[in-house]
Amino acid sequence: MFGKIWAKVGNAFGKAWRWMGMAARKLLDWLVVSFFVLLFLVFFLTGMGILGFHVYHFLKSGEWPPLAASDFAQATWLQTEWIGAWKILNWLPASIICMALSFLVILSYSKLKKTLRGASVSEVTKAVEPSVVAGK
């Protein structure tokens, strides 16, 4: 009699642990997605804000304000050691850099997602393979 009760209690705890594991995985997935979406929005909206500021200033004064990526870099060592990189940063508008970074974030998220799904699929395949081979 106690064996049946003990089996039912063990089964209930096993289901609870599996449910908690699935909930933790879903929470972790949600946190990772939220992080990448937030990072994308920060870079993209910063780029759009800079572009909007440029347009506003141009429409008001008739002059395009120079705001290059080097204004955000704060790397004076580039100016002395990496002269070509410094010239590129001075030439590139900061708005384009921010928007390009936002799309780079999305691309890195998609690569990370494919890599993680590929790893989980290969682990499942390795776990299933011995039983399939034994059945043949």
The parent domain of residue 105 ranges over 2-112
Evaluate whether residue 79 is within a structural domain.
Answer: yes
pLDDT of residue 59: 92
CA distance 123 to 115: 12
Evaluate whether residue 134 is within a structural domain.
Answer: no
CA distance 40 to 60: 30
Total structural domains within the chain: 1
Evaluate whether residue 124 is within a structural domain.
Answer: no
Evaluate whether residue 78 is within a structural domain.
Answer: yes
Name the residue among 106, 94, 89, 99 with its Cα closest to residue 43.
99
Cβ pair 59, 83 in contact under 8 A: no
Evaluate whether residue 97 is within a structural domain.
Answer: yes
Other Cβ atoms less than 10 A from the Cβ of 43: the count is 20
From first to last of its 136 residues, what are the pLDDT tens digits of the chain?
Answer: 667 776 777 777 777 777 787 888 888 888 888 888 899 999 899 889 888 988 898 899 988 877 776 666 666 666 677 778 778 777 878 888 888 888 898 888 888 888 777 665 555 445 444 444 444 4
CA distance 45 to 39: 10
